[in-house]
Structure 1
Amino acid sequence: MKNSNTIKKIGYALMIIASIMTLLRIMDILPRDYYTTHDLRNYIFLAGALLVVIPQFYIKFKQKRATVIVLTLFSSATIFAQDYSKQIDAFAKSFADKTTEAIQPYMSSKLQFGQIPIANTVPIMGNIVKNLPKLNSISIIESEQGKAKVAYDFVGFKNESFIHFDDKGKMTKIQLVEDLINQEAEARRQQQNSVQLPTPGELGKKHISIKVEFLAPDGLTVSGNLYEVDKNKPIILLMHQAGYNRMEYADIAPKLNEMGYNCLAVDLRSGGPFAGKPNNTNTRATEKGLKPEMIDAQQDIAAAIDFLYKKYNQNVIVWGSSFSSSLALLEGVNNSKVKGIISFSPGDYFSDAAPSLATVFSKIDKPYLVTSSKAEAETLKALINDSKLKENQSQFIPTSNGFHGSRALWEGQEGAEDYWNAVTDFLFKIE
């Protein structure tokens, strides 16, 4: 064959390019786009290999015919056997659609998460694709026969883990899901071993609250406990986590009183009975047929801020727990009556009903303290990541395992002192 050496040189060059791309990917220099870092380098390598082999095939066809055919078929079969792009595309579609319809054809009948019975696999997958934050992108970092390392970019957190496949290309193990299940189980174990209820003690007897009520924009009456020490002192609005009520702050508010802060612990419409007390706002919302969804509680927060601003003629420090801490941040961005924000375990809890906190953190110019359990800290750090922290804006990460929400401060809770030190330091700075 004419110019066979030139063709071979081109082939070698393509193989070298593909190898360099692989090295750059290992060094994390190339972006994680699937077609750039996975398919393209394979196809370049295959093209180069064919250009090297074809001249030899032409020159020594009779001698090497069988060997070349076998090698070529083997190379092609290997590449296509490692191509799990259809499965990953289906996974992405399931996250987008919030159902498992797209991914189920690629789920093996043997797919199981830890020791959980196989019968629960589909329902678990349904909860995962429905409840995780929005998926920005998913891509294959690398793959080999039987497994692929996948990069997930969710709003609020990122993950790299393996998906395993059988010889038919069906998923037999999804490491991401197993990791999430294990994290949730550990969080539940820690919570069961922690302080379960606030204990006001002597300070609770010293600082007695009074019941107050005010109207939300839709006419719903919102209830709360007002802990007042001095009308000229700063005021903090205290908001509970999902399923709770004002009693989440039964031993926190008296301590804040002792520090010289007026406090209002409110019942948000999204909540329930806790510590032997009903959530009065939630009860009224249910009776009136109003939505008690988490995002709907933002109007309760806005109404509480207005109530306190009128009563004390000063801006308000808003303090949230879990979902309400996200609402505190969302409200704090644009509400001129908000002085500062304390946010325990915020996250993107509202799907498309509210902007991602990553957007909020990039815009907010008020002082804030955000904190969480240690397990939640990396996700929270990712949400803050794109914004440059301004004066009196910080994230506190506990040295202990910590806890989700404001319960981290309850009397007797492990690590509570460290959380209190962070809160006290923040409040001192913004006085």
Structure 2
Amino acid sequence: MNTSTKFRDFKTIQKIGFILIVLGAVIILLKIIGLLSASHFIEEDIPNYLFLTGAFLFLLPMLKKLLMGRKGSKKASILLLALSIGISSTAQNYSKQIAAFEQSFTEKSVSPIQAYLSPTLKFDPIPVANTPAILKNIVSNLPKLNSMTILESAEGKAKIKYDFVGLGVRESYVHFDEEGKFTRIELIENLIKMELEAQKKMRESVQTPTPGPLGEKFQPKNIEFKTSDGLLVNGNLYEVGEDKPVILLCHQAGYNRVEYADIAPKLNEMGYNCLAIDQRSGGNFADKPNVSAESAKEKGLPNEMIDARADIKAAIDFLHKRYKQKVIVWGSSYSSSLALLEGVSNDKVKAIIAFSPGDYFGDAAPSLSTAFSKADKPFLVTSSKEEASALTTLMGTIKSNENQSQFIPESSGFHGSKALWTGQKGAEEYWNAVTAFLNKI
């Protein structure tokens, strides 16, 4: 082969390399800016391989010219082969391991992931001997997993995005040994640390509301009303006057109307009528049943968290009809997200107070970022200090003002409306924020 033919061959190789570089770069860019979703079935590492292979081919003529001398062709070939292997190895593919991990959550079993577990896998600060039991408990008891996506991968680790119903979207790393087996799963470590911290806070905190003298002064009466799908919702109505403003109080997951047993009387003292309801998604709390949840189960009605939006809407309708005025909707944890989703579009809602809202519903509801972007009503959102940054992210570019604001506590605070309970550490600063907001609207 003469020199001109070799030159043309190298030019062709460079052109192929350039095309692969552009193709890989475009796919990577589209994925970064979110225009290419998982539904396009692009294998996670294909763009990386295209880009790296293209770069290698594009540089091949220059590398060969640089490395080859009169007697160096054999050495150059070996070096080029080693370089190509090195480049290929930089793009790690852990898709099989992650697919097995996702399958474990789907099947609620450790069997799919078993072959990919390293004997050194442990979840700090729990000893390695407890790893099997911890892993089994996690995959069996976490809420439904909507999706698990590889965001990036490198040698020995991959960054994963998880979307769980009720837990929202989370991102963290998983780590692998040389055989591609899991040696560390940060998601589970973080969940364990959160649970240990929650247990510590629970031991140090007020665990149930104590109505005290105000509870004796302002006694509620039981009321019932029906939802659009026929559920009879139960609630406690704390009434101080038909001409007084009215607040709907919605509880967090696993709770019932008793969450507001010492909050509602304080609001009565401030001049507000209050209705604390049992939602169909909840449970026994403070030795009291959740009547609406039990009724929903008996009737075979849907009772996931997202389904409680119908209860909140029916309560708004009930209060609007009774008092002939718009309603302030107050939510706790998942119900605060429902309060925002319903409140921004419901013309019977005057304002929204949301304690620890988040994207708890997966694909069953739009992100709260959408609700915040459309909100033209007064709202106050707050949470524990730990949750504050995630909430700020959800609020996005919205500019806080006196009628639309986020309150971040100075203390570590608590999740949900229990942050306001009598005797709760930091309760006073939350009450100051709520009182200031109510006085402005």
Q: Same fold (TM over 0.5)?
A: yes
Tell me which residue corresponds to 2:41: none
Q: In 2, distance between residues paired with 1:220 and 1:96?
A: 35
The correspondence for 2:373, drawn from 358, 362, 369, is 362
Tell me which residue corresponds to 1:187: 198
Task: State the AA in 1 paired with 2:230.
Answer: G
Matched-pair identity in % = 50
Offset of residue 57 of structure 1:
5.2
Offset of residue 386 of structure 1:
5.1
Q: In 2, distance between residues paired with 1:363 and 1:127?
A: 37
Q: In 2, distance between residues paired with 1:325 and 1:168?
A: 45
Offset of residue 424 of structure 1:
0.9
Tell me which residue corresponds to 1:108: 117
Contact 2:45 2:93 in 1 (8 A): no
Alignment of 1:109-148 (within 5 A): 109-110=118-119, 111-114=121-124, 115=126, 117-120=130-133, 122-123=135-136, 126=139, 131=144, 138-140=150-152, 143-144=154-155, 146-148=156-158
Offset of residue 231 of structure 1:
1.4
Tell me which residue corresponds to 1:371: 382
Contact 2:45 2:91 in 1 (8 A): no
Task: State the AA in 2 paired with 1:68.
Answer: A
Does residue 79 of structure 2 align to residue 71 of structure 1? Answer: yes
Q: In 1, distance between residues paired with 2:62 and 2:99?
A: 38
Alignment of 1:172-251 (within 5 A): 172-251=183-262
Contact 1:99 1:130 in 2 (8 A): no
Contact 2:400 2:406 in 1 (8 A): no
SS at match of 2:180: coil
Contact 1:88 1:139 in 2 (8 A): no
Q: In 2, distance between residues paired with 1:129 and 1:84?
A: 28
Offset of residue 426 of structure 1:
1.1
Where does structure 2 lack aligned partners over 5 or more consecutive residues? 37-43
Deviations 1:177-212 (A, max 9, x none): 322332233223212321101111111111111111
Task: State the AA in 2 paired with 1:310.
Answer: K
Alignment of 1:143-158 (within 5 A): 143-144=154-155, 146-148=156-158, 150=159, 152=161, 157=169
Offset of residue 93 of structure 1:
9.2
SS at match of 1:225: strand
- The answer to which of 253-262 and 277-286 deviates more is 277-286
User: Are the structure 2 counterparts of residues 129 and 416 from structure 1 closer, same or farther at C-alpha, using a change threshold of 3 Å?
Assistant: closer
Deviations 1:218-271 (A, max 9, x none): 222211111111211110011111111111111101111111111111111222
Does residue 102 of structure 2 align to residue 94 of structure 1? Answer: yes
Q: In 2, distance between residues paired with 1:251 and 1:356?
A: 32
Contact 1:133 1:348 in 2 (8 A): no
Contact 1:147 1:164 in 2 (8 A): yes
Q: In 2, distance between residues paired with 1:99 and 1:388?
A: 43
Offset of residue 105 of structure 1:
7.6
User: Are the structure 2 counterparts of residues 69 and 168 from structure 1 closer, same or farther at C-alpha, using a change threshold of 3 Å?
Assistant: farther
The correspondence for 2:285, drawn from 269, 274, 285, is 274
User: Are the structure 2 counterparts of residues 103 and 348 from structure 1 closer, same or farther at C-alpha, using a change threshold of 3 Å?
Assistant: farther
User: Are the structure 2 counterparts of residues 400 and 268 from structure 1 closer, same or farther at C-alpha, using a change threshold of 3 Å?
Assistant: same
Task: State the AA in 2 paired with 1:54.
Answer: K
User: Are the structure 2 counterparts of residues 97 and 280 from structure 1 closer, same or farther at C-alpha, using a change threshold of 3 Å?
Assistant: closer
Where does structure 1 lack aligned partners over 5 or more consecutive residues? none
Task: State the AA in 2 paired with 1:418.
Answer: E
Q: What is the TM-score when the length of structure 2 is the normalising length?
A: 0.80
Tell me which residue corresponds to 2:396: 385
Q: In 2, distance between residues paired with 1:106 and 1:68?
A: 40
Task: State the AA in 2 paired with 1:107.
Answer: Y
Q: In 2, distance between residues paired with 1:360 and 1:242?
A: 21
Offset of residue 350 of structure 1:
2.1
Q: In 1, distance between residues paired with 2:235 and 2:269?
A: 19
Tell me which residue corresponds to 2:419: 408
Tell me which residue corresponds to 1:52: 62
Tell me which residue corresponds to 2:410: 399
RMSD: 3.7
Offset of residue 300 of structure 1:
1.4
Q: In 1, distance between residues paired with 2:50 and 2:410?
A: 44
Contact 2:209 2:421 in 1 (8 A): yes
Task: State the AA in 1 paired with 2:259.
Answer: E
User: Are the structure 2 counterparts of residues 125 and 96 from structure 1 closer, same or farther at C-alpha, using a change threshold of 3 Å?
Assistant: closer
Offset of residue 88 of structure 1:
7.7
SS at match of 2:344: helix
Q: In 2, distance between residues paired with 1:386 and 1:224?
A: 37
- The answer to which of 311-320 and 323-332 deviates more is 323-332
SS at match of 1:84: coil
Q: In 1, distance between residues paired with 2:387 and 2:326?
A: 30
| Number of residue pairs matched by the alignment | 410
Tell me which residue corresponds to 2:311: 300
Deviations 1:289-308 (A, max 9, x none): 33332222222111111111
Q: In 1, distance between residues paired with 2:104 and 2:133?
A: 22
Q: In 1, distance between residues paired with 2:344 and 2:230?
A: 24
